[in-house]
Amino acid sequence: MTERLYLSDSYMRECEAKVLKAEGRFIELDRTVFYAQGGGQPCDTGKMATQDGQEYKVVSVKNSAEEVSHEVDHEGLRAGDKVKCVLDWEKRYKHMRMHTSAHIMAAVVHKEYGALITGNQLGEQQTRMDFDAPQFTKEKIPEVEAKANEVIARDLPVSIAFEEREKALARAELFRLKDVLPKDLKVFRILSIGDFDVQADGGTHVKSTKEIGRVKIVDMKNKGAENRRIYWELE
């Protein structure tokens, strides 16, 4: 099983790792700093370098069962090779800021409108989030934006803890996303944003809300009778 180093430290930009399996351009490692696409967060990119200096670009990263599958730009790596993994940090850091802002936005629409999140897609430049709140209209945007920015400006610490499945599942407030619960997960990772919000979550986040900057909601669409979609950027 690949050890996902970002789960305990999202600021790790590089690591040494061993190739466990190589099938053409698809590489499994014993440990990784690369985030695999999932939970609305795009995968990381970057590179792997062997001890003799050969470089492989990491173009895509996916979860495959218990392993993390890294797609590199050309073949050549073999099981047993030692590699140094390096993230495209600028992109990852933007995702961390966006991801943390998405928690705050989700908590705000939940607290204000009782909305559950039905979908989200993080991007480097823009993020969108869907939630079910039929009473939400364009007029409410300034209020939601102001509330989110208020929380960010409090510079709350963002921390993680791990909790056993049974205990975590007993706390309904940890699961605001309407989608899947990982079936085989024995331990859940719990993310706390100061005293403002707590969620079960496997993504990458900044360590204090001030790093987000400010959110600016740039658009909103109705997606059916219940669902609303907002788009925001970071300033």
Instruction: Return the residue of 203, 220, 229, 232 that touches Zn ion, per CB under 5 A.
Output: 203
Place of tokens 């173009």: 59
CB of 77 to Zn ion, least distance (A): 31
**Residue-wise burial string across 75-103, b where 16 or more C-beta atoms lie within 10 A, e elsewhere:** eebeeebebebbbeeeebbebbbbbbbbb
CB of 174 to Zn ion, least distance (A): 12
Place of tokens 């900044």: 206
Q: Is 174 helix (H, G, I), strand (E, B) or coil?
A: helix
> Residue 42 or residue 203: which is nearer to Zn ion going by CB?
203
Ranges within 92-111 binding Zn ion (CB under 5 A): 99
> Residue 92 or residue 140: which is nearer to Zn ion going by CB?
92
Question: Phi and psi of 148, rounded to 5°?
Answer: -65, -45
Instruction: Return the residue of 77, 140, 201, 230 that touches Zn ion, per CB under 5 A.
Output: 201
- Which x/- pattern, by CB under 5 A, does the window 46-85 give for Zn ion? ----------------------------------------
Output Rg (C-alpha) for the chain, integer angstroms: 19
Ranges within 142-171 binding Zn ion (CB under 5 A): none
CB of 41 to Zn ion, least distance (A): 8
Count of residues near Zn ion by CB under 5 A: 3
Do strands 3-4 and 31-32 pair parallel, antiparallel, or not at all (unpaired)?
Answer: parallel
CB of 75 to Zn ion, least distance (A): 34
> Residue 197 or residue 201: which is nearer to Zn ion going by CB?
201
Q: 10 Å Cβ neighbour count for 136?
A: 21
Under 8 Å between Cβ of 19 and 81: yes
Binding segment (CB under 5 A) for Zn ion, from list 13-21, 156-164, 196-204, 216-224 = 196-204
Q: Going edge to edge, which strands form the sheet with 158-164? A: 158-164, 187-193, 197-200
Binding segment (CB under 5 A) for Zn ion, from list 5-13, 81-89, 199-207, 218-226 = 199-207
Q: Which parts of this chain interact with Zn ion (CB under 5 A)?
A: 99, 201, 203
